[in-house]
Structure 1
């Protein structure tokens, strides 16, 4: 068995962290086996390979597990050097990419999830926070596009680390907008982010990995309904 065929990814279909790893594998052209995990009854293999966090994604390469999406993607980039580079090779550009791929899930995406779980005045406060985060990202990306490796007309072969995280966490923003009735990525207010996401979502590679829209919509609707029920019952 060749080195590339000894790659297994444990994931969950709706996880943006898992989607990011899959994109990295596809960009590099790495064949892999995918194992879908039921996160309500975690498998013994998942608990074995990621005993600390007990979460997906986990990549198994040559029998060795790697956990945490960013660590996995960096491992992929450093191990398979023949494919297109994912992280910038310049140390400063690489540091900027790492900064924004921490900001997107930890600050922006977290705030968007809070919007799903709240209503009324509390939700209005969180919506304001989301727009503040989007403004920071819009302005920050102007510099990143100038000094980094990402481009607003991104193609599959030049998708970088920030493109991957943007696609994975914010690419399906239309689903959140439909459930909540709130337009987050307004092309007039956030032209850079709008054009960037549009370009990414039109890539064949991204379309190939995107879960069915209706299935994702149902999950987001369920998350909101359950969160509001829990709040009402508390």
Structure 2
């Protein structure tokens, strides 16, 4: 990059963590240059920008790099402090949003992956555990924010909407690729949240195409197309 843009994002089209960064920048109206990475053949620019984890996404702002999607979201909200704000103004509410975002990434996402990657009795147990985690997430967010989903930030996407929507809104693609036994209708509040997020124009335009995600998952995990 001889002439570097003010804001550059290194990412991958199918990475929910990259989608988060794109959603936040678009929501704030921040123009950026996007560089698609191949993690099997990482560019020198990526390795220089994220020498610790060597992963995407990475945000480079005025030549300074920031890694890890949740950290990047907070940076975007703090540096470009115009509305809409991603995080609440109240420190306690901000702490609660951070807590549930971490719970989502550290508990729900690995739990969901375990469900689709396991088989037989192990999968049955994984799904039961996942439903338990989802119940904790639903009850906890409703209790802490004194309202039900879909939006925790008034009439626009907030921090937690971006975190949840960037990954969980692809649930139909995962179900099609893996034949997943997870039934979102068992948790109507969470399903309602996802439905509302999927109706959001910004979410629609930023999420990767359904068919492309399905094809990529099948390719990555050497899955045959499901036959009815």
| TM score, norm. by length of structure 1 | 0.87
Aligned to 2:159: 161
Aligned to 1:194: 191
Aligned to 2:25: 25
TM-superposed CA distance for 1:157, in Å, is 6.1
Aligned to 2:9: 9
Moved over 3 A (4+): 153-157, 222-226
TM-superposed CA distance for 1:220, in Å, is 2.3
Give the Cα–Cα distance (whole angstroms) in 1 for the partners of residues 28 and 94 of structure 2.
Answer: 18
Give the Cα–Cα distance (whole angstroms) in 2 for the partners of residues 176 and 156 of structure 1.
Answer: 29
TM-superposed CA distance for 1:111, in Å, is 1.1
3-state SS of the aligned residue for 1:55?
Answer: coil
**Structure 2: tracts of 5 or more residues without a match:** 224-228
Q: By percentage of residues, which structure has more helix? A: 1
CA distance 1:90–1:197, shift in 2 (3 Å): same
Encode CA deviations 1:24-55: one digit per residue, 9 max, x unaligned. Answer: 10110100000000010110000000000000
TM-superposed CA distance for 1:83, in Å, is 2.9
| TM score, norm. by length of structure 2 | 0.89
Q: Report how many aligned residue pairs link the two structures.
A: 218
TM-superposed CA distance for 1:155, in Å, is 8.3
CA distance 1:66–1:181, shift in 2 (3 Å): closer
Maintained 8 Å contact 1:27/1:157: no
Give the Cα–Cα distance (whole angstroms) in 1 for the partners of residues 38 and 220 of structure 2.
Answer: 16
Maintained 8 Å contact 1:24/1:73: yes
3-state SS of the aligned residue for 1:8?
Answer: strand
Encode CA deviations 1:64-100: one digit per residue, 9 max, x unaligned. Answer: 0011111111010001112310011101100100011
TM-superposed CA distance for 1:176, in Å, is 2.0
Output the aligned Cα RMSD: 1.9
